[in-house]
Structure 1
Amino acid sequence: MVNIRNLDPSASPLDYYGSELRRLREEAGLNQAQLGSILFCTASLVGQIETAKKVPTREFSVRLDAALMTGGLFTRLVGLVLKSQLPTWFQPYAEMEAKATYISTYQSQLVYGLLQTEEYAGAVLRVENPGRLDEMVAARMERQRILERTHPPVLFVVLDESVLHREVGGAEVMRNQLVHLLGFLEHPWVQVQVLPFEVGQHSGLLGSFTLLRFDDDPELFYVPVYGGGHMTADPHTIRARSVGYARLQAAALSPQGSAALIERVMRERYGHHPGPAVA
C-alpha cells in the first residue's frame, strides 16, 4: 500500500512542489506508476518527490510540465526549490548574486561556484554534506544559470594559482575543471585571471572575497567564513576592497597568460587533455 504523507504546501518550496505534483497527477487520473512511465522514471521517485523526500531536478520538471500540460508551472517552481536547498546563511548572498550587474571575486582556495563543473562541485560539497550531496550540487548548478541569461552579469574572477594545484576530486575531475575554465577565454562577459605564486604578498592574503555591483542598489562586499558568511554595504569597506581588487587584477596574469598557465598545469599535473588554443 502506498504511504500517503500529508504535506503543508506553505512549509517550504519543496513541500509546495510536492503537493502540486500530487494534486495535478490525481486530477489527470494517473497513479504514480503511470506518471513514472510517462516520465521515464520509477513510481518510487514520483512518490518521493510528492512527499518532499527528494528534490526534483530541472530535467524532471520540464518533462513533468509536458506530461501534465501545466504551462511551465514546475519548471518555474524548481528554481525556488533548488535555491531553498542552499544553506540558510548563504541564501541572502545567492539572491544578491543573481541580481548583480557586475561580480568581482578573488578566490584563494577553490574555483568560484559559478564556474565549477558538476563533478568538482560534488567533490567540494561531499566533504561536509554527504547526506544531501545531490540536492546541494543541483542547487549550485542552478546558481550558474545566471550566466545563461539574455543579459548575464559581467563576471571578473581572480584565482590564486594554488586553486589550480589543489587536486579536488582526483586528476580527471581537475583536468575537466581546468578545461572548463579554459572555455571561458572567449566568453564575452566572463574574465578569468590567475594570480601566480611569484607575486608574493598581495591584497588578497586575508582570503577570498566578492564584490557585487548593481544598477540601482548600493554595492556589496561579501566574505565567506567557516560555517557562514559576512555581507556588508559599508562604503568604507567597499572602497578599500575595490582598490584591493584592482591591485589583484593588476598583479594577476592577463586572461591569455592565465589560460596558458592553466593549460600548462593541466598538462603537467593532471595529464594531457586537448583544450582551446591559447596565445
Structure 2
Amino acid sequence: MGSSSTRPSPWPRFSGQKLRKLRDEAGLSQAQLAEAVNYSNDTISKVETAAQAPSAELATRLDAHFGTGDTFQELQPLAAKEGTRPSSAPTPTWRTPPRRFASTSPSSSRACFRSRSTPVQS
C-alpha cells in the first residue's frame, strides 16, 4: 500500500510549467525575465525545470511582473514544502562516470594492463 507521501509532488513541476508558459507567451528569454525580476538566469532555469522551488520573494516578483494576482505566491509554499532535491544532495549514480578499475592506484592499473596484454601461448 503506497502512501501519498511517497509519491513526488506535482507542485514544483506545475509552478515551473506555469512560469515557462507565461514567459513564452510574453516572448521573454530566461535571461530577460531574470533581469526584469532581478534574479539570476540560473534561478529562473532551476524553477522552470523544478530543480528548485521559487523563493517567496521570487514568487511575489513573478506575480507582479506577469500580473497574475497571487498565483505564484499561492504555489510557492506548496512547491517549497514538497519540493525538490536540495543542492547539497549527492549526485545520482547515473551521472557518476564509470570506474575502470576497482583500485585507483597506478601500480594496480599497470598490473591489470600487463595481465591482459600477455600473449597467450598455444
Q: TM-score, normalised by structure 1?
A: 0.27
Change (3 A) 1:130 1:21: closer
What does 1:134-173 correspond to in 2, within 5 Å? none
Structure 2 unpaired stretches of 5+: 1-7, 90-122
Aligned with 1:37 (options 35, 38, 44): 35
Aligned residue type for 1:69? G
What does 1:59-70 correspond to in 2, within 5 Å? 59-70=57-68
* Rounded Cα–Cα distance in structure 1 between residues aligned with 2:57 and 2:33: 15
* Rounded Cα–Cα distance in structure 2 between residues aligned with 1:37 and 1:71: 21
Residue 85 (structure 1) shift? 3.4
Give me the CA root mean square deviation.
2.3
* Rounded Cα–Cα distance in structure 2 between residues aligned with 1:85 and 1:77: 11
Contact 2:12 2:50 in 1 (8 A): yes
* Rounded Cα–Cα distance in structure 1 between residues aligned with 2:83 and 2:70: 21
Aligned residue type for 1:29? G
Change (3 A) 1:49 1:20: same
Larger Rg: 2
2:12 is matched with 14
Aligned residue type for 1:19? Q
Aligned with 2:24 (options 11, 23, 26): 26
* Rounded Cα–Cα distance in structure 2 between residues aligned with 1:77 and 1:68: 15
Change (3 A) 1:11 1:67: same
Aligned with 2:55 (options 57, 65, 70): 57
* Rounded Cα–Cα distance in structure 2 between residues aligned with 1:11 and 1:40: 28
Change (3 A) 1:25 1:130: closer
What does 1:1-279 correspond to in 2, within 5 Å? 12-85=10-83, 131=88
Structure 1 unpaired stretches of 5+: 1-9, 87-128, 133-279
* Rounded Cα–Cα distance in structure 2 between residues aligned with 1:53 and 1:130: 9
Percent identity of equivalent pairs:
35
Q: Which has the higher helix share?
A: 2
Contact 2:20 2:48 in 1 (8 A): yes
Q: TM-score, normalised by structure 2?
A: 0.60
Tell me: higher relative CO, structure 1 or 2? Use CA pairs within 8 A at least 6 residues apart: 2
> Deviation string for 1:100-151 (max 9, x for gaps)?
xxxxxxxxxxxxxxxxxxxxxxxxxxxxx8826xxxxxxxxxxxxxxxxxxx
Change (3 A) 1:67 1:131: same
May I ask how many residue pairs the two structures share in their alignment? 81
